[in-house]
């Protein structure tokens, strides 16, 4: 006799979307409205941006938002869409591996079936990256907590060697191998988008590679041809949305004109999208 587990089924569906050469494209969302817009545009899944979500909740990014507030927002997003949701949980919202396991259980309770867990350190006086051994323990704890719940959560291990100037390709590959051995399902290396580096990462990592793109990066078809399995944009869409607030407000208070407000989403269309449930 089998027991239905919708979260497990959704996790399996999300896992199947990571195909080298046919990447999962994730326009990152940060609240219900942005998630609904992403889903309505045809995205196969919704991924949160920790920065965008933190800003929406009045907090700075970088391990400053507390777990309960962050995952309450993730739960709202997961309940608002029908596609799988992956949560950016920064470094795990915890001081130690046991705390990371608690976070994973809360992620599953929120209805998400994927996580990004980064190895950056933000404490004053700490190194730019968490030691490999310590991060391995945290990833293993995440894996064990998800497995114990019977959900094949997709653990995307983010490696910040490039973003934090803590190493290049060789150091990244060493970390990737250790994190995959600890139970990570994919590797996320934000920063490099040049074809030469991306190809080295694809060839050297024994798992799906996630790259972060934006203006100036190669088009997604070019990244697909290199073997990338997942493409996301991090906080870029949220930054662009807030840039519009910045421009429109300064124009209204300065020139007293409205040019920045042109091209907005139709009121009725957006209102209808939010009234779906």
Write down the CATH superfamily of domain 6-234.
Phosphoenolpyruvate-binding domains (3.20.20.60)
3-class SS of residue 167: coil
**What tokens were used for 50?**
């920790």
Concatenate the DSSP letters of all residues of 89-136 into one string: -TT-SSSSHHHHHHHHHHHHHHT--EEEEE-B--STTS-SB--HHHHH
pLDDT tens, the chain, 277 aa long: 456 799 999 999 999 999 999 999 999 999 999 999 999 999 999 999 999 999 999 999 999 999 999 999 999 999 999 999 999 999 999 999 999 999 999 999 999 999 999 999 987 667 899 999 999 999 999 999 999 999 999 999 999 999 999 999 999 999 999 999 999 999 999 999 999 999 999 999 999 999 999 999 999 999 999 999 999 999 999 999 999 999 999 999 999 999 999 999 999 999 999 997 7
């Amino acid at each position: 006799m089998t027991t239905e587990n919708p979260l497990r089924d959704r996790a399996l569906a999300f896992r199947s979307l990571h195909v080298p050469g046919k990447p999962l494209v994730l326009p990152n969302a940060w609240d219900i409205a942005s998630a609904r817009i992403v889903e309505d545009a045809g995205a196969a899944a919704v991924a949160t941006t920790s920065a965008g979500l933190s800003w929406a909740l009045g907090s700075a990014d970088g391990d400053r938002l507390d777990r309960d507030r962050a995952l309450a927002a993730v739960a709202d997003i997961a309940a608002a869409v029908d596609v799988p949701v992956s949560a950016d949980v920064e470094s795990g919202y915890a001081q130690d591996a046991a705390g990371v396991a608690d976070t994973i259980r809360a992620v599953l309770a929120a209805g998400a079936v994927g996580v990004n867990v980064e190895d950056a350190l933000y404490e004053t006086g700490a190194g730019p990256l968490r030691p490999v051994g310590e991060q391995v323990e945290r990833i293993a704890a995440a894996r064990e907590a998800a497995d114990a719940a019977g959900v094949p959560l997709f653990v995307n291990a983010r490696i910040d060697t490039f973003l934090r100037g803590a190493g290049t390709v060789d150091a990244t590959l060493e970390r990737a191998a250790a994190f995959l051995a600890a139970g990570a399902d994919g590797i996320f290396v934000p920063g490099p988008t040049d074809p030469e580096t991306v190809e080295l990462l694809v060839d050297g990592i024994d798992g799906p590679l996630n790259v972060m793109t934006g203006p100036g990066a190669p088009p997604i078809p070019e990244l697909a041809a290199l073997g990338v399995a997942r493409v996301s944009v991090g906080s870029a869409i949220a930054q662009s949305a807030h840039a519009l607030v910045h421009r429109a407000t300064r124009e209204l208070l300065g020139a007293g004109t409205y040019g920045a407000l042109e091209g907005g989403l139709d009121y009725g269309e957006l209102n209808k999208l939010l009234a779906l449930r």
